[in-house]
Amino acid sequence: MHQSAFLPLKRATMQWSTAFLIAVACLQLSAILCDKCTSEVSSSYYYDYTKVQNERVYWKYIKKERTVAIGCVLDSGENLAFGQTYRTPFFVLQCEKINDTAVLLRPIKCILNGKEFEKGSYVQTKSFIDTCLEREGRIGLVITGCVGDNAVIAKIGESFTRRTFLFTCLSEGNQVIHKAIGCVIGGQRVGIHQVISIGKFWYKCSRYGNGGVKVIIMGCVTSGGKRIDAGEKYRDGGFLFHCKQKDLGVNIVFAGCIAKEFGVLKEFNFGESCAQEMKKQSPRKLLSALQTWIKDEKLSKLESVPNMVTIGCSVA
């Protein structure tokens, strides 16, 4: 047989290969990865100063005889004159005279991360609102709120979002906790242990560690809305796909075609020979059908879904 007789077959084979390669390139588009976050905790600190402390009096002595109070004595044994101040880890204390025989170490400011701030004011950190409050003879460096995305402040009992998670600002005794109550997936709120389908993938919001939460990509979704577990192959739009498990996510990979063989629909993996009915379809027709399926399913837009891997989930 003349060599030219093989040219149409060779050309058709190359066209089929090109069609499949383009299809694979088009369908390895998206893997929205998993994400997780632990809860955060911060504590409030208080200082009671209503009790007059006779034992802290710094006395003036004349001829070895105690006369009147002239200052305060600290736990370290150091002496402070009236009006002088002393810094503790959380408060600035001032030595105050009550009478000739009694003194008081009165807190006048709060300290956070080494910086002083006045009573009634607050400091916003990355995760919490610390307020310097004075009430009924007690001063406190009190957690009065939580900080969410875009520096949004949530009061105690209110909910807020951070990254891709939903929290409530919960007070327990002297502690305030970022308690995870759900996830935000594709802009939608999802409760703990609930699942949601978005586009061609489905996800689960699950507990993580002690009070944390995580988003898990569970698998793929067909055109008809059927959920496919990661690792499985499935039919969709006349083609065979592989819901491929990755280290931190899932990809949809073109795996083959669906064609009739002796009148029965059969799956053909990528690289296998299809039946005569399938071979009758031109590579251009196959590629056109696949591109139409991609367009209809909006696979090309999957990359616009927010990537759920973020950096900087701090742990208290």
Compute the half-sphere exposure of residue 231: CA atoms within 13 Å on the CB side of its CA.
2
pTM attached to this predicted model: 0.65
Q: Which two tokens stand for residue 154?
A: 């949530």
Query: What amino acid occupies position 40?
Result: E
**Where do the domains of the chain lie?**
45-117
Provide the pLDDT for residue 77: 86
pLDDT tens profile 60-117: 888 888 888 889 888 888 899 999 999 999 999 999 988 887 888 899 999 999 999 9
pLDDT tens profile 2-24: 444 433 433 433 333 333 333 33
CA distance to 60, 138, 295, per residue, from 73 (Å): 12, 20, 80
